[in-house]
Structure formats: structure tokens, C-alpha cells
């Protein structure tokens, strides 16, 4: 994600910094990986307003994001980096190189580009490319991590937003010590 500055034609624009979104996919999302979200506009089942000052806004499609990353030891190629209206982080459309060529959305880490390869591993790798998903016991200490599970197989619950990252302090037996984005130190299962 690159930052862009503007020509200082007025005093308000002089120090303005924006986000360069030119690398994002410009087409529609994959239809099979989206679902509609019904909005109430503050109305109940009779159509009466029960919560005032609600409503309006742009119509949005919810993208189904794979927080479990349960396709193991099969590499996936990043097809596109996309904007998601329901979250601050960008999402990446990945296509696994299995028999069905499965497509899924994942949270895109900083530095991931179209054409990169991501993988979920269950054993210690020799190198750690961007987007690799592994158990905490295989990650070196002091590493910045995101999309953490509380229990194995439950799916990511911690550090899922843009710029949010936890830090692995150390691993002791079956438990890993993790410093949360809030600064809290927490013990999490090392699997």
C-alpha cells in the first residue's frame, strides 16, 4: 500500500496524504464468494422505525473471507488484491493449485502482490515468504503476526484489521506468549 502526496495548491492540501489504490482490482468480486446483506434501516418486522437516524448508505456485497486457511500444503497463487467495504484491510483472491482450482478470499498482508504464492504449512519451513500461514510454534520470536486463532481450527479472531499486528514474544511448550495490538500480553495455544 503506497502513500501519495498532493500538489500544495491550497493550505489544506499542503500536508494531505492519501492512499494510492491504483494496484487494486477494478472488476467485480467473485460472485460465488459473495453474499447479500439485508439492512433494516432501523425498522422492525412491521416496518416501523424503532431506532431513529438509521438508514441510507451505499449498497454493499459481503465477501466471504477464509479465516481458517484449512487447505494445507497446497500452494495458492494471488489472482487479485481487492477492496472490501466491510473491513479496513484489503483482501486477496487466491486460487489453489488443487484438482478443483479452489478460489478463496484471504486477508492480504502488507507486501503481497498479484502473482505471489501463499501456502498453509503444518511443518517448519526453511524460509518465511509473505502470506505463509503456520502454527505459532514454528514462527521465530519477535515476529509481527496477524490473523491469530484462539483455539486451533476455530479461525482467525485476533489482529484482523488493517495495520493491526500482534507480536510473538516466545513459545514455551504448548503455549505461546503474544503481545496484542492493545499492548496486552496473552497466552495462546502454540498450534
DSSP-assigned letters across all residues of the chain: -EEEE---SSTTTTT-EEEE-TTS--SPPPGGGEEE----TTB-TTS-B-SSS-------EEE-B-SS----S--EEEEEEE--TT-SS-EEEEEE-STT--EEEEEPPTT--TT-EE-B-SS--SS--TT-B--GGGSPTT-EE-SEESSTTS-EEES-STT--EEEEEEETTEEEEE-TTS-EEEEE--
* Average pLDDT, integer, range 122-126: 91
Using only C-alpha atoms, the chain has a radius of gyration, in whole angstroms, of 20
Segment 162-172 mean pLDDT: 93
Mean pLDDT calculated for residue range 131-158: 93
pLDDT score at 1: 62
Per-residue pLDDT of 23-76, as tens digits, reads 899 999 999 999 999 899 999 999 999 999 998 889 999 999 999 999 999 999
Amino acid at each position: 500500500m503506497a502513500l501519495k502526496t498532493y500538489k500544495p495548491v491550497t493550505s489544506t492540501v499542503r500536508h494531505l496524504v492519501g492512499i494510492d489504490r491504483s494496484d487494486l482490482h477494478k472488476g467485480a468480486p467473485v460472485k460465488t464468494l459473495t453474499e447479500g446483506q439485508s439492512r433494516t434501516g432501523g425498522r422492525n418486522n412491521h416496518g416501523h422505525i424503532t431506532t431513529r437516524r438509521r438508514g441510507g448508505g451505499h449498497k454493499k456485497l459481503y465477501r466471504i473471507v477464509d479465516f481458517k486457511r484449512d487447505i494445507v500444503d497446497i500452494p495458492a497463487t494471488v489472482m487479485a488484491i481487492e477492496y472490501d467495504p466491510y473491513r479496513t484491510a484489503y483482501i486477496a483472491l487466491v486460487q489453489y493449485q488443487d484438482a478443483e482450482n479452489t478460489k478463496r478470499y484471504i486477508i492480504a498482508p502488507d507486501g503481497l502482490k498479484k502473482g505471489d504464492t501463499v501456502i498453509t504449512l503444518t511443518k517448519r519451513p526453511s524460509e518465511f515468504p509473505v502470506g505463509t500461514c503456520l502454527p505459532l510454534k514454528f514462527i521465530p520470536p519477535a515476529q509481527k503476526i496477524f490473523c491469530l486463532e484462539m483455539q486451533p481450527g476455530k479461525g482467525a479472531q485476533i489482529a484482523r484489521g488493517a495495520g493491526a499486528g500482534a507480536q510473538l514474544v516466545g513459545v514455551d511448550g504448548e503455549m505461546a506468549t503474544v503481545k496484542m495490538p492493545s499492548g496486552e500480553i496473552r497466552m495462546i495455544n502454540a498450534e
